[in-house]
Structure 1
């Protein structure tokens, strides 16, 4: 058994900034970060666009950012949460600059980009690898914090709550978190890690679909194990599809073409070069992501094409290469000259707005269990996230959760006598899987079903069929899980199945279209505002 004061699950912007804050406030506190891959592998690392924050008050203000966030979220956001996040943004941004993160400047002022849904230029960025730069700076700060330990390749299987204590009855209204069972993937051992406070910062679940902009680690782990621990999870029907991922014939992670490219002037065209976004929204390419993604999806259904084109041919070449060097190089690697031909793009699963219910401090419905970032339903995003608000959410809620954690650690003696009775993980009667073909097969079946039936545009008939198919996959995975020695692959599959259940269930409960959720049987207005 490993004992720690604070257990952090995940090593993206949310988990790292939270850990740094606690380490600064309480240098004698032991903080353990577990991450299932390398320490720098997270959704944060792949964030291209930047961080939405009001810095130029001569042109912009908090109210404009608030209004843009509420509009993108179809006004089901929590207004108080939106106000808090937007007004806290400059403070949290200044902190990561102090921690060493560098952002592009012009003539001594931050270079500000604009993305879909924003009415002003307010996106601070580091080229087109903003997340990578933030991750680098946070990890460097972590390495200089002697009371923080990172355990890489450690995969959380399940949370420990009082239902693991022999003789204890689980009170659904008063569940306590005591840590987690964690698989050390390199040593193939399952460890019991107990903690006074646990933070879930596991990111999204993009690989529940065939194509996603998310890294391979995004399998909904935190949402799934909080759901299994009977914590509250909501709004899972709201899954944002990014309009412009680079088209590939291969399933899996697709390369993201940042929305900032359209913010700088790129235009969407059909495969044969005709503009089409004017048919779907007056803002055209700068409409919010749900509208642009549905527009592209509809054009592909009409034409039968595999992709549409992103036209950068009229853009300033020098500015493009300077702002988007990573995107430019990727195009060249794929044999595409973006100044001579269209970049082939398709919508891909990108960001989950729902998740673990939290308050403004990141506190979940389970006592002493916090959650921050994409795995949460914090109230910030509503039905559809405004571009570049995700890194901001991680910083603001990471700070709030850290301050509340410090408060709890100072005032609570955390008598964990019951934990002595929590058993170690028991693998008796289980057998080693001699091949992974069943896990691979079932994962592909799940992703195909979700992509075909529960994607950008849904219907009642598709959702009912998805519910039936999901149940069949769930039963097969449960049988496999019950009799096999655990592996990260099997555990991830189990989590993806849990996530798919929640997405389908919450989609069937919806009675109107909002934001990223669109059921054609509930449509009250046409998808097109004009035919041509």
Structure 2
């Protein structure tokens, strides 16, 4: 057993920011970070665009950023949350700079601000096209300077420990006491007992197979919170990034940043027609839901597998300087942006819903907090404005930290039972897990994609029930592996997406049901 004051599950911008702040404030208290891959592997690492922050007060304003966010969220944002996050942006950016994060500047030494879909002004602070990677680097560097933070890489959080696990009269109802954790290298499952637990586990992209997310994005935090009876909300709002590089292989897709369209690239169909002006007056700079649905419409009309992003009319030297990673990745695939169009297709990118939290990051379970993509704060509403996600993670990590500085945590002073896997066996048929995974991903892509309808959603529920029963049987009978636990989590997440899609009676933002008029 490990006993700690603060347990952080996840090592992206949300988890690391909280860990750094709380460890600095309480040098005599212990912080444990559990992460299922290497410490730097997270959704943050792959964030290309940047952080949306109002800095140029002459041309931009908080009011404009708030308005852009509300428009993108299509009437479902919590306006007080939007105002709070936007106004906190400059302060949180300043902290990143103090921790050593570097962002691109112009010859005058000012930030070289970018503009992305849905933004009315240039306000995106970035580091080339690898902003998330740079932020992750700076945060990890600071983490390693703090002796009271312990990182456990290649450890997988299986389930939250709540009063349901604890047979003690002192256990409070609806309270989290830590988590059961699997050491992936030894197969040993142990208890982490914690006074406070933060879920910062990232997204759910792998539920769809074709995704811009890394392979670790399997919705683990949301599934754990759901099983612990926390409130989960707005799961129907899955944002599809319009321009993932088309690949015939399944799995993680390379992202062609929103900023490329902000830089002036055009979307064309196979015939060369620039089609976005047909759908929206903002053309390529329309919000992601509009662009994704427009591409989906073009592909359904033509039967083609992808559309194209045309950068051939742009200043090639400026493009290469601004997007070196994208340029080199295209070259690896024999696509020269100077002369060739880039084949692109929408892919699962970001979840606007998740674990419901208040402004302090508190879930509906005591001592359990959530931050980053796994949380539902109300900022994004029905559709996230580009580059608001890193901003949200920074602001809410700070809010959770501030709450803990003012609210004393109560140490867990009773016994928690160890994990019991007596009678289970090592699964010999790994193919069963892989088969169910591929079936689940195909089900979500075909029945619960960009455009949905009630018939497909109801069929999806029936097919998912079969997968669920098979996976639960495996879970009960087998010694646990990461792949089995991830599949179980993805099944839970898929159920939430489908069920909450069926419950939605109007089309908003990223949700479109063709049966709703």
TM-score normalised over the length of structure 2: 0.99
1:442 equivalenced with 2:442 (yes/no):
no
Map residues 254-269 of structure 1 onto 2, 5 A cutoff. Answer: 254-269=253-268
Aligned residue number for residue 111 of structure 1: 112
SS at match of 1:164: coil
Map residues 373-452 of structure 1 onto 2, 5 A cutoff. Answer: 373-409=372-408, 412=409, 414-418=410-414, 420=415, 422-452=416-446
Q: Deviations over 1:347-370 (max 9, x none)?
A: 000000000000011011110111
**1:427 positional shift:** 1.0
Aligned residue number for residue 456 of structure 2: 462
Q: Deviations over 1:219-267 (max 9, x none)?
A: 0000000000001101000000000000000011000000000001000
Map residues 112-191 of structure 1 onto 2, 5 A cutoff. Answer: 112-166=113-167, 174-191=173-190
**Structure 1 segments unaligned to the other structure (5+ residues):** 524-532
Map residues 365-376 of structure 1 onto 2, 5 A cutoff. Answer: 365-376=364-375
Q: Deviations over 1:413-437 (max 9, x none)?
A: x25233x1x2111110000012310
Counterpart contact for 1:269–1:308, Cα < 8 Å: yes
Counterpart contact for 2:6–2:196, Cα < 8 Å: yes
Counterpart contact for 1:351–1:374, Cα < 8 Å: yes
Aligned residue number for residue 499 of structure 1: 493
Kindly report the root-mean-square deviation, in angstroms, between the aligned alpha carbons of the 2 structures: 1.0
Distance (Å, rounded) in 1 between the aligned partners of 2:109 and 2:276: 36
Distance (Å, rounded) in 2 between the aligned partners of 1:506 and 1:235: 7
**1:165 positional shift:** 1.1
Distance (Å, rounded) in 1 between the aligned partners of 2:270 and 2:245: 14
Counterpart contact for 1:254–1:348, Cα < 8 Å: yes
SS at match of 2:59: coil
**1:168 positional shift:** 5.5
Aligned residue number for residue 526 of structure 1: none
Map residues 358-369 of structure 1 onto 2, 5 A cutoff. Answer: 358-369=357-368
Counterpart contact for 1:162–1:168, Cα < 8 Å: no
The alpha-carbon distance between structure 1 residues 169 and 502, as it changes in their structure 2 partners (threshold 3 A), is farther
Aligned residue number for residue 312 of structure 2: 313
Aligned residue number for residue 77 of structure 2: 77
Distance (Å, rounded) in 2 between the aligned partners of 1:407 and 1:199: 17
Aligned residue number for residue 60 of structure 1: 60
Distance (Å, rounded) in 2 between the aligned partners of 1:416 and 1:471: 37
TM-score normalised over the length of structure 1: 0.96
**1:166 positional shift:** 1.9
Distance (Å, rounded) in 2 between the aligned partners of 1:496 and 1:50: 28
Q: Deviations over 1:281-305 (max 9, x none)?
A: 1101000000000000110010011
Distance (Å, rounded) in 1 between the aligned partners of 2:228 and 2:41: 26
Distance (Å, rounded) in 2 between the aligned partners of 1:259 and 1:165: 47
SS at match of 2:470: helix
Q: Deviations over 1:15-39 (max 9, x none)?
A: 0000011011111110000000000
Aligned residue number for residue 245 of structure 2: 246
Distance (Å, rounded) in 2 between the aligned partners of 1:167 and 1:132: 44
Bigger mean CA offset, 17-26 vs 489-498: 17-26
Counterpart contact for 1:45–1:135, Cα < 8 Å: yes
The count of aligned residue pairs is 516
Aligned residue number for residue 88 of structure 1: 88
**1:66 positional shift:** 0.2
Distance (Å, rounded) in 2 between the aligned partners of 1:426 and 1:179: 16
Q: Deviations over 1:482-515 (max 9, x none)?
A: 1000000000000000000000000000100000
Aligned residue number for residue 31 of structure 1: 31
SS at match of 1:253: coil
**1:81 positional shift:** 0.4
**Structure 2 segments unaligned to the other structure (5+ residues):** none
Counterpart contact for 1:163–1:169, Cα < 8 Å: no
Counterpart contact for 2:233–2:353, Cα < 8 Å: yes
